[in-house]
């Protein structure tokens, strides 16, 4: 079993590190939870709008212009629209991130329970969403970058900077507490061995100053008695 560090500096710093890391992790979790619901709802609305507009465009186009319309959607908007096939190979949506599953549930609630989703269809990776025009089923592929919003790199960098500064500050705070006590312990050890230690510096927090002043007075009195 790993025990606690023996020095006050190490113990104080370790405790502060644990508190800071736990606080930072809790803050990130709260931020993610608060941001998750609005972002998932916004993404679901985007997907529903794209599917409805695509369905309306396909319905309004004449049959002889349908292929040209689908090609135009793919080139200008990056939307790949294809008819469903009997033997198509589908890959289910991943469990991570959880926002993707939540978004799919909201989209299905708007478009209908027969709406299907896929992360990959016939070897093409995208967010595939199915819709029906009459009895015909179609697939529309949305680029993943449109619906996935990973944590900003800038946010991660600034979070790392803040965490590093907090840890550095924790080290200096622990050092300010432990350093005078270490000097006091060394001076007491010298005094116990019969030597006269150098006077302790009387600066810092009020309690440290009081202890240092009392020790210096005691050391001076013992030296006077010895003389």
User: Domain coordinates of the chain in residue numbers?
Assistant: 8-147, 153-226
Model-wide pTM > 0.75: no
Burial of 79 per CB tally in 10 Å (0-12, 13-18, 19+): buried
Asked whether the predicted pLDDT for residue 77 surpasses 70, the reply is no
- Assess whether pLDDT exceeds 50 at residue 97: yes
Task: Report whether CATH 3.30.450.300 matches the domain 8-147.
Answer: yes
For residue 82, how far is the Cα from the chain centroid? 37
User: For residue 158, what pLDDT is reported?
Assistant: 78
* C-alpha span between 91 and 121 (Å, rounded): 6
Q: Residues 103-145: pLDDT tens digits? A: 888 888 888 888 898 888 888 888 889 988 878 888 888 877 6
User: Is cis: bond before 163, omega within 30 of 0?
Assistant: no
What torsion, rounded to 10 degrees, do the Cα atoms 12, 16, 17, 19 define?
140
Contacts of 73 (CB under 8 A, 6+ apart): 54, 57, 79, 80, 81
On the question of pLDDT at 1 being above 50, the answer is no
pLDDT in tens, 7-66: 777 878 888 888 888 888 887 777 777 767 777 888 888 888 888 888 887 777 766 676
| C-alpha span between 70 and 78 (Å, rounded) | 10
Rounded to whole angstroms, how far apart are CA atoms 105 and 117? 10
Residues 6+ away with beta carbon under 8 Å from 146: 46, 78, 127
How many Å apart are CA 9 and CA 2, to the nearest integer? Answer: 18
Give pLDDT tens digits for 172-221.
888 887 888 888 888 888 888 777 788 888 877 787 788 888 888 888 88
**Cα dist from 26 to 99, 122, 130, 151, whole Å:** 19, 41, 38, 16
């Amino acid at each position: 079993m790993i025990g606690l560090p023996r020095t006050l500096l190490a113990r104080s710093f370790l405790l502060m590190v644990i508190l800071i890391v736990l606080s930072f992790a809790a803050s990130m979790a709260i931020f993610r939870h608060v941001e998750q619901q609005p972002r998932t709802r916004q993404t679901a609305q985007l997907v529903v709008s794209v599917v409805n507009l695509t369905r309306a465009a396909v319905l309004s186009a004449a049959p002889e212009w349908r292929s040209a319309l689908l090609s135009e959607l793919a080139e200008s908007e990056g939307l790949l629209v294809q008819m469903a096939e009997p033997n198509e190979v589908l890959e289910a949506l991943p469990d991570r991130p959880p926002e993707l599953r939540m978004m799919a549930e909201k989209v299905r609630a708007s478009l209908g329970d027969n709406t299907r989703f896929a992360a990959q269809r016939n070897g093409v990776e995208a967010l595939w969403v199915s819709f029906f025009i009459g009895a015909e089923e179609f697939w529309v592929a949305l680029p993943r970058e449109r619906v996935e919003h990973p944590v900003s790199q800038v946010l991660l960098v600034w979070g790392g900077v803040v965490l590093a500064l907090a840890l550095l500050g924790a080290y200096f705070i622990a050092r300010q507490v432990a350093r005078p006590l270490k000097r006091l312990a060394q001076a007491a050890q010298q005094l116990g061995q019969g030597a006269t230690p150098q006077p302790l510096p009387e600066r810092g927090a009020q309690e440290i100053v009081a202890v240092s002043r009392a020790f210096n007075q005691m050391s001076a009195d013992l030296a006077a008695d010895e003389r």
